[in-house]
Amino acid sequence: KLPAFKQWYQRRVAITAGDAIFSMMRVFEDPDVTHVDGDVDPIRDTETIFEELRLKDIEYLEKQIEKVHKVVARMGDKDKAAKLEYETMIKCRDLLKEGKDARKCKWANKEIEALNKHLLLTSKPVIYLINMSIKDYIKKKNKWLIKIKQYLDEADPGAIMIPFSGALEQRLLDEPEEAKQFLEENKTQSNLDKIIVTGFKALGLQYFFTVGTDEVRAWTIPRKTKAPQAAGKIHTDMERGFVKAEVYKYTDIKELGNETAVKNAGRYKMEGKNYEVQDGDIINIKFNVTTEKKK
């Protein structure tokens, strides 16, 4: 039992440390890949996993409620923040006991602030990955696809589900040239890029690029980041001395071929401090930092 506990503990630590969850739903049959329950049932498996997550959140909240209760009992209404946190955690625990994940419940802004620091497992956004056999993935058919869609429409409305084939992705890693030919022959493609992009969106993240004479670099920032703060990802001096940002789109350079053509097409923009960086922006930061004179 110890190896099983260790495996669960490592999995829980990984989920706790992350900001979103990829929930893998196996729909392929393979006698060489045994299932702990003896047969394939992705809906049952998903319900089991999220029940485990709710139980871990309940266990965690019980301990935190006990700690904060001591503060509330001592301070009463004098510590309003502690009282709000205490009441919100009790509310959340009770909802979890009813089988409701924290992210699916309605919360006031002040309640969200009280819960955010606890990083509850059931508060994280979830993307469902449907792991298919290579054959089913190519055909885009499997008996479970419609059932999973119907289940998620009811259990997690608006949830994103992405079909892919783990076996195919592994083959692309192990035999890239042969696998590339296989994709072309079967008129299919890897879904790994879609999984990555969707994961970024779920986390509220995006890329922007900087281009030098000998390298191109991608920088990760939250959506709605203003240009000076994006510049700060490169170097703090760039944020402190930000003057302007020269901006064009990756799609423009891909379409037109080079920076001169982008400028001639009028797609090379000058943006100021209030510009919100967009996903795929290529940015050249103009900044000016003067060194303070020593007294």
Using the predicted structure, report yes or no on whether residue 145 has a pLDDT greater than 90: yes
Question: Which pair of structure tokens corresponds to residue 176?
Answer: 């890239």
From CA 225, how far away is CA 75, in angstroms rounded? 39
Instruction: List, in sequence order, the alpha helices (H) in 37-129.
Output: 42-75, 80-97, 109-116
> Are 230 and 208 contacting, i.e. CB atoms less than 8 angstroms apart?
yes
Q: 293: how many CB neighbours lie within 10 A of its CB?
A: 5
Q: Quick one: pLDDT at residue 40?
A: 92
From CA 235, how far away is CA 216, in angstroms rounded? 16
Q: Quick one: pLDDT at residue 2?
A: 42
Instruction: Give 292's pLDDT tier (boundaries 50, 70, 90).
Output: low
- Secondary structure, 3-state, 109-150: HHHHHHHHCCCCHHHCCEEEEEECCHHHHHHCCCHHHHHHHH
Q: Quick one: pLDDT at residue 77?
A: 80
Which tens digit of pLDDT belongs to each residue from 178-188? Answer: 988 999 999 99
The β-bridge relationship of strands 205-211 and 281-287 is parallel
Short-list 107, 105, 70, 103, CA closest to 86 = 70
**pLDDT, averaged across the chain:** 89
Using the predicted structure, report yes or no on whether residue 96 has a pLDDT greater than 80: yes
List beta partners, residue 217: 210
Length of the chain: 295
Q: Quick one: pLDDT at residue 4?
A: 46
From CA 5, how far away is CA 194, in angstroms rounded? 33
Q: Quick one: pLDDT at residue 291?
A: 59
High-pLDDT (> 70) share of the chain, %: 93
SS3 label, residue 243 = strand
Amino acid in the structure at residue 144:
W
* Rounded average pLDDT over 207-215: 88
Q: Quick one: pLDDT at residue 37?
A: 74
* Residue owning tokens 């485990």: 52
SS3 label, residue 186 = coil
List beta partners, residue 226: 276
B/e letters for 168-202, b = 16+ CB within 10 Å, e = fewer, are bbebbeeeeeebeebbeeeebebbeeebeebbbbb
* Rounded average pLDDT over 204-211: 90
